Structure 1
Amino acid sequence: MLVPSKAPLTGFQAMLSGTPLEDCFAFWQSRRAGRPAPPKSIIDPVAMPQHIIPHLFLYERTGDGRFRCRLAGTAICEAFQHDPTGQYLDDMILPSVRISRIRLFEDVVERVLPIAYSGNVAEAGRTWIKFRRLMMPITIGGSVPDGIFGMVVFPGFELRKSGPKLVDDGMPEMEIWATPDDLASG
């Protein structure tokens, strides 16, 4: 007798699979309730898996089109060695990647689609840190998506008293957008 197999994971689902990002996406999906993007008011930390909280972030697109960090979890603050809350994205990232990163944030809000991507975070004067990030649209100031709720993990990064220890986990740099099938699976 043949046993039906599970459908293979898409690129987006595979990028999240086996990581806390998967739990964050499932939480976001549960809050959508048929909407393209959930309102920030129902992103309740009490209801979410507690292990994702230190890795969460929230950005709001301001009236001038910039993205301001409204929340950065403790794991993010530890990795960057400062709290980016209140800072603007374009002030935090290196000029060499500024345009592409801002465009990615804009695309999440304008396309109203989640994206998972990985690469290396770089800050001036610091070692590059590998990351895997999930960004999902939310509404903050009305009914149109104007914010990003998400999570970042730093595979191969350990914080020690003597400083960060980096391990090359072989994770390639990539960007993968959610598909309608990914969104329907919630």
Structure 2
Amino acid sequence: MRLQITIDIFDYWNALRGGRDAPLKSQIEPGAIPHLLSSLFILETEADRHIRFRLAGTKICDLFGRDLRGERFSALWANGQHEDIERTAQGVMTHAIPTLFNATGYSTAGHHAAFEIIMMPLRSPEGGCDRLLGAIAPATAASWLEIVPLELLALDRSRLLHDKFGRMAEAEPRRPVEVAAEKQATFGRAMLRAMSHFLHGAAAR
């Protein structure tokens, strides 16, 4: 992580979880992180099994030029990545391992900018992880981001973040894509391999 927004929200999430793999969703206190709220989102799995925005901060909605509440998270991504992004978000909840994306955002006017996106699992009182806390932050300031909405995000790189075992698993680097992602190895399979490797190594310790 290189951006202060993603560092701050990860540190907050990490402090809340203590020795557990994920904090309870009821532990999130907006008043404790007022400077981050506009860049944060919460995802949840709906009855249709798709992962949708429960909440999205004002800066995130402004980036895409619309209110994202109720929209599928995968809809923000390039064609060819929708299923893999949704599968990965589900994997973060299933395995309770936070994930960091480096992505490039593209506008219809031809602009592009780099982003960091983090997703961290939240547990329900029943014990399962059924929501994700996350943040989207641009890597550099760009004046056009305030007036031209993003059309899509394309994945560059992904990493599984977990300090419980003192190491970090990383998926293969990705080149930015515009729309044709089918020629690349899919992100979802790479992340599932990384998760499997990470969990297998942890179990062997």
Matched, 1:27 2:32: no
Partner Cα separation in structure 2 for residue 92 and residue 117 of structure 1? 13
Q: 2:118 aligns with which of 111, 134, 138?
A: 134
Partner Cα separation in structure 1 for residue 94 and residue 82 of structure 2? 18
Structure 2 residue identity aligned to 1:152: I
Paired residue secondary structure (1:38) = coil
Structure 1 residue identity aligned to 2:126: G
Structure 2 residue identity aligned to 1:177: L
Structure 2 residue identity aligned to 1:147: R
Q: Which moved more, 1:155-164 or 1:59-68?
A: 155-164
Q: 1:42 aligns with which of 27, 30, 33?
A: 27
Structure 1 residue identity aligned to 2:65: Q
**Count of matched residue positions in the alignment of Structure 1 and Structure 2:** 161
Q: After TM superposition, list the pairs within 5 Å mapping 1:82-97 onto structure 2.
A: 82-97=66-81
Unaligned runs of 5+ in 1: 1-15, 167-171
Partner Cα separation in structure 2 for residue 18 and residue 182 of structure 1? 20
Paired residue secondary structure (1:175) = strand
State the shift of 1:154 in Å: 1.2
Partner Cα separation in structure 1 for residue 146 and residue 10 of structure 2? 34
Superposed CA offset, 1:11-44 (max 9, x none):
xxxxx24522111011001211322211111101
Structure 2 residue identity aligned to 1:176: R
Q: 1:156 aligns with which of 131, 135, 140?
A: 140
State the shift of 1:100 in Å: 1.8
Partner Cα separation in structure 2 for residue 83 and residue 143 of structure 1? 30
Superposed CA offset, 1:61-105 (max 9, x none):
123321120111111011111110122224444432102211221
Paired residue secondary structure (1:31) = helix
Residue 174 of structure 1 is matched in structure 2 by 157
Matched, 1:110 2:104: no
Residue 56 of structure 1 is matched in structure 2 by 40
1:130–1:157 CA contact under 8 A, matched in 2: no
Partner Cα separation in structure 1 for residue 146 and residue 4 of structure 2? 27
Paired residue secondary structure (1:173) = strand
Q: Alpha carbons of 1:26 and 1:87: their partners in 2 closer, same or farther (altered >3 Å)?
A: same
